[in-house]
Amino acid sequence: MTTFDLFYLSIFNHYKTHFKRNANSIAVIYISLLQIALVLLLGAFFAVFFEQMHVNTPSSSKVWTLFIIFSVTVYFRNWLTYTGKKRSVLNAKISKNKKVAYNIWLLWLLLLGCIALAIIIILKA
């Protein structure tokens, strides 16, 4: 099980008690946004790094187009992965072992922190 799987299960189990029908959608959106935010953060870091190293890079519009295509791909991959049989398998694996529950506030702060750092890096460039 990956870290993203554990994050997904923590979000899903937390929101399953409050929003029975929408818990899976909330968890898939969270995992997708987290993965997209991490890629944005890495992309911003490498963009600034390559600019300071005077490396030839693609234009900004091409990079944003690739980022949007990647974001849509990540969402659909997560949607396909976590709505099918894998969610049942993950629930079975986690119920056999001790429950690993991350604090819901820390998970949302992780997402917001990644986005904030990426925006700071992009604006400083």
CA nearest to 34, candidates 13, 77, 14, 4: 4
pLDDT at position 96 is 64
Residue linked to tokens 């997904």 = 8
Full-model pTM: 0.88
Domain edges within the chain: 3-124
Distances (CA, A) of 115 to 48, 55, 86, 87, 90: 16, 25, 28, 27, 28
Half-sphere exposure (CA, 13 Å, Cβ side) for 37?
19
- In sequence order, the 6+-apart residues with CB closer than 8 A to the CB of 97 are none
Q: Tell me the residue length of the chain.
A: 125
What is the DSSP annotation of 88-112? HHHHHHHHHS------HHHHHHHHH
What is the pLDDT tens value at each position of the chain, 125 positions in all?
A: 788 988 988 898 889 888 888 989 999 999 999 999 999 999 999 999 998 899 888 888 999 999 999 999 999 999 998 887 777 777 777 766 666 678 899 999 999 999 999 999 999 86
What number of other Cβ atoms are within 10 A of residue 118's Cβ? 20
CA nearest to 14, candidates 103, 80, 106: 103
pLDDT at position 86 is 76
